[in-house]
Structure 1
């Protein structure tokens, strides 16, 4: 882990009293970005892994996390507590520097997706966007969602 990664992680793990008391709301900036990505796989996460917002294609592929209650909004919690979440989508990750991930979807089969991460350091939120290479087999499959 690089020094920059350590500093970013330390920053995201700091909690202030206002945040702890106010709950988690999606950043207006990230909400606006997601609003302009209606056909893309995109999700906004709190720094704790809570899914705050998803696009329709992200819900279709990964399941509806943002509409869930309690701990079911958290990616890791649902992965461990809900066997259907694990069966629905299994990931094969490559080297850390490689942004490509292969996913085996129960209905669509194998998908190769590129992931990009946008960080909002003020709100301490993450926007994760998945894309397929235009015209690829994975792109064709995603259009069927």
Structure 2
């Protein structure tokens, strides 16, 4: 089965019963994301509720923040919304480089991206950022995505 990111989905499923935190990104995560406006970046609660997204993340994953209830949760949208599995970014494998993962997007095609997950243990929130190798075809696709969003 293709998946958006198996590790994240499994983590959020395990954490679901133990939810702590609010429905807004903390001030530190918010400031970090504001400075990452050219990159796909998302802030999650500890159990996968999407609290904040950059514009490139909305294009790649869909806009989770405009919904309420369980539709804001990565796991729920992934399993309940077929468009989330077909239209948006889906991890399809790893590359020969340990830090790159291979993804498929319906409009952009194949992307090779570095995925970095940062955890704020105080706010119980996670920041997920995707970046491409500078000058690579994937980097150019992300740059076009950012320009198209303006």
TM bucket normalised to smaller: 0.7 to 0.9
How many residue pairs align between the two structures? 130
Deviates more, 1:127-136 or 1:99-108: 99-108
Partner residue, 2:6: none
3-state SS in 2 of match to 1:32? helix
Q: Check whether the contact 1:44–1:53 (CA below 8 A) recurs between aligned residues.
A: yes
Q: Check whether the contact 1:99–1:116 (CA below 8 A) recurs between aligned residues.
A: no
Partner residue, 2:5: none
TM-score, structure 1 length as denominator?
A: 0.81
Is structure 2 residue 135 aligned with structure 1 residue 135? Answer: yes
Give the deviation of 1:100 after TM superposition. Answer: 1.9
Which residues of structure 2 form unaligned runs of 5+?
Answer: 1-10, 146-150
Show CA shifts across 1:25-68 (max 9, x none).
21110001001111111000000111000000100111101221
TM-score, structure 2 length as denominator?
A: 0.78
Show CA shifts across 1:87-123 (max 9, x none).
013212439x933221111011000000111111100
Partner residue, 2:91: 91
Give the deviation of 1:143 after TM superposition. Answer: 1.4
Partner residue, 1:101: 101
3-state SS in 2 of match to 1:144? helix
Partner residue, 2:37: 38
Larger radius of gyration: 1
Q: Check whether the contact 2:103–2:112 (CA below 8 A) recurs between aligned residues.
A: yes
RMSD across aligned positions (CA): 2.3
Is structure 2 residue 59 aligned with structure 1 residue 60? Answer: yes
Higher relative contact order (CA 8 A, sep 6+): 2
